[in-house]
Amino acid sequence: MTDPAGIQRLVIENCAVATVDAHDTEYAGGHVVVAGDRIESVGAGRAPEGLVNVVRRIDGTGHLVTPGLVNTHHHFYQWITRGLATDHNLFDWLVALYPTWARIDEPMVRAAAQGSLAMMARGGVTTAMDHHYVFPRGSGDLSGAIIEAARDTGVRFTLARGSMDRGERDGGLPPDFAVETLDGALEATAATVDAHHDPSFGAMTQIAVAPCSPFSVSTELMRQGAELARAKGVRLHTHGSETVEEEQFCKELFGMGPTDYFESTGWLGDDVWMAHCVHMNDSDIAAFARTGTGVAHCPSSNARLAAGIARVPDMLAAGVPVGLGVDGTASNESGELHTELRNALLVNRLGPYRHRALTARQALRLGTHGGARVLGRAEQIGSLEAGKLADLVLWRMDTLAHASIADPVAALVLGAAAPVTLSLVGGRPVVENGRLTTVDEDAVAIATREEARRLARAARS
């Protein structure tokens, strides 16, 4: 058997396989064949005979292979302000931290992005996103620093280029010197899309248009931001319906609730996803379902800031696309997505559906295919199927932490964080035996500590 293209293959076999395809196909003992940057085959038993150009063959005994995890909401810069304002609700937390965040600069943001990405990648995330919306004057090329950090780490990445133009003098929460003008925000966002967005199937970097939130952004920035995104052919992202205080703010300022406000400014649609969506009534959920608007569910952050329990079972039943988000590590200090698999299941069982709210397999779907759908990439990633990009994770399940749990998916979701034996992004290893292959974890840790201390000194000055 010959392969005229000369494509190199990697074979994983003798492992449990959770494909997270449309039928939730699973194999107690199966294989995955990777050819170049694509999945070539997935199935039961050993890999097909006669494969050529096999450069690596992995015995996955004692392991589970799944699609790579997809993070749909984050704020990387917050990595260097973890552990602050630990007993605040959202608005008080923002008021406490905005004066510090308004002093970030390019080296700080680069180090924080490196730390955030390294922690996620080491824990099985193969596609990450960052909603960055703080651009203090004279702070440098923050978007470029974040994109460079993602490129160095080797993960697939969406930068949601955020913005704020409603400062304190206009009734917003952020300090005035930390916000942009309307025109400045739109021009910088357009320039970021033009410079960095890759619309191709296997893109490593994509850009979304992402004004921060109703309480930090003018109506005109929301409206023109949506127009800009659609003119450029990119997705839209913002925060929505996170707290009861936000709902009150919208009703006082706009005379309507958040969902109606978003619809009035062009912010509902199948090219939009919103973070949190905790306080959604039946009409809100129906509007999201009708328009295909997605949700980034962030259970740990929602709990940390006492925002409430999002109605995820109702959203899923209505057909709303839902993925998982770490959120910024100033409100989720662990900074990794496995916590969100577990907490999505546990927190939703505290709601009205109790033990029937979510299953372990639904939680895994939220963190993989659900996230891919929210980011508009479900045809490319999020499940193990022939022709899709080879973004996958081989989890070790035979250690003390998991060996006595017969169901590997339940073990992954409900158990301790499983060691990552191998994580591939487009067929390329980014993690081997629990360590990053692309960056020096120890050097990243040192840089983040130094930049956190420098930011703390700047905030005190």
Rounded to an integer, the average pLDDT of 105-133 is 98
Whether residue 139 is predicted with pLDDT greater than 60 in this model: the reply is yes
Beta bridge partners of 237: 273
pLDDT tens digit sequence for 331-344: 999 999 999 999 99
| Cα 149-372-345 angle, rounded to 5 deg | 100
Task: Please give the pLDDT value at position 3.
Answer: 62
Task: Please give the pLDDT value at position 156.
Answer: 98
Task: Please give the pLDDT value at position 169.
Answer: 86
What letters, b where the CB count within 10 A reaches 16 and e where it falls short, cover 69-90?
A: bbbbbbbbbbbbbbebbeebeb
Other beta carbons less than 10 A from residue 337's beta carbon: 28
Beta bridge partners of 162: 210
pLDDT tier at 1 (50, 70, 90 boundaries)? Answer: very low
As a whole number of angstroms, the distance between CA 383 and CA 392 comes to 9
Q: What share of the chain has pLDDT > 70, as a percent?
A: 99
Residue with tokens 């899309």: 193
Query: Which residues are within 8 A (CB) of 196 and not within 5 positions of it... i.e. 6 or more apart?
Result: 143, 147, 159, 205, 207
pLDDT tens digit sequence for 4-41: 568 999 999 999 999 999 999 999 999 999 999 999 99
pLDDT tens digit sequence for 170-211: 887 788 878 999 999 999 999 999 999 999 999 999 999 999
| Cα 192-110-300 angle, rounded to 5 deg | 95
Residue with tokens 């703080």: 134
Residue 421 C-alpha from the chain's centroid? 22
Three-state DSSP class for residue 136: coil
As a whole number of angstroms, the distance between CA 236 and CA 228 comes to 10
Q: Which CATH class name applies to 69-374? A: alpha beta
Q: Which CATH class name applies to 9-67+389-436? A: mainly beta
Residue 51 C-alpha from the chain's centroid? 35
Task: Please give the pLDDT value at position 5.
Answer: 65
The radius of gyration computed from the CA coordinates of the chain, to the nearest angstrom, equals 21
pTM of the model: 0.97
pLDDT tier at 311 (50, 70, 90 boundaries)? Answer: very high
Rounded to an integer, the average pLDDT of 63-78 is 98
Which strand (E) or helix (H) includes residue 189? helix 182-196
> Mean pLDDT score of the chain, rounded to an integer?
96
Q: Are strands 294-297 and 322-324 parallel, antiparallel or unpaired?
A: parallel
3-state secondary structure 354-373: HHHCCCHHHHHHHHHHHHHH
pLDDT tens digit sequence for 239-283: 999 999 888 989 999 999 999 999 999 999 999 999 999 999 999
Three-state DSSP class for residue 265: coil
Query: Which residues are within 8 A (CB) of 28 and not within 5 positions of it... i.e. 6 or more apart?
Result: 16
Delimit the CATH 2.30.40.10 region(s) of the chain. Answer: 9-67+389-436
One-letter amino acid for residue 360 of the chain: A
As a whole number of angstroms, the distance between CA 108 and CA 111 comes to 5
pLDDT tier at 438 (50, 70, 90 boundaries)? Answer: very high
pLDDT tier at 147 (50, 70, 90 boundaries)? Answer: very high
Delimit the CATH 3.20.20.140 region(s) of the chain. Answer: 69-374
Query: Which residues are within 8 A (CB) of 222 and not within 5 positions of it... i.e. 6 or more apart?
Result: 211, 214, 238, 262, 265, 266, 267
Rounded to an integer, the average pLDDT of 104-130 is 98
pLDDT tens digit sequence for 219-236: 999 999 999 999 999 999
What are the helix (H) ranges across 49-105?
A: 90-101
Other beta carbons less than 10 A from residue 370's beta carbon: 29
Using alpha carbons, select from 268, 212, 258 the residue that is nearest to residue 239.
212
pLDDT tens digit sequence for 370-389: 999 999 999 999 999 999 99
One-letter amino acid for residue 7 of the chain: I
Whether residue 2 is predicted with pLDDT greater than 80 in this model: the reply is no
One-letter amino acid for residue 137 of the chain: R
pLDDT tens digit sequence for 400-431: 999 999 999 999 999 999 999 999 999 999 99
